Amino acid sequence: MPAGQSSTRYSALIDSMARPQDVRGLSLKGLHVTMAMRLCALFEASGRDPVPDLAQRYRSIEAACAVHGLVQTIKQVWPEPFLVNRPCCLAMTPDETTLAALARAAVSGKREAFSESIAGFVRADRHEALYNATIHAVALIP
């Protein structure tokens, strides 16, 4: 990619990240994944296991474990701490916005869009693990 196109791409990306997105614009699965990240952060801060609460929320232990697995995978592959807002907040952090884009691409089965969403941010050798965890989670969320 020529230098001019690269700087334009990243300028547009930075501008879009400066405007917080609203969780009310997400699909139901995107909202579930975003809220799961927020709940897992709260539970981790209090030293509690989030799986029982997620299982009750999704009415499925398998879905809860898949979502928790996605959270754990993100913690391993994300290049910096994943930032979330409080569960009551309507605005999304840039990390949550990226996660929503990943969930949208996974639900649609668009592997290339998934990788494009995190290209240059998450190392390419980590995309496959993140994609598999995302596909598993969104497939099991009711």
Q: Is 6 domain-assigned?
A: no
Domain count within the chain? 1
Q: What is the mean pLDDT of residues 56-74?
A: 95
Q: How far apart are the first and last CA of the chain?
A: 40
Q: Is 68 domain-assigned?
A: yes
pTM greater than 0.95: no
Share of the chain above pLDDT 90, in %: 82
Q: Is 14 domain-assigned?
A: no
Q: Is 106 domain-assigned?
A: yes
Q: Is 15 domain-assigned?
A: no
Which residues form the domain of 129? 25-140
pLDDT exceeds 60 at position 112: yes
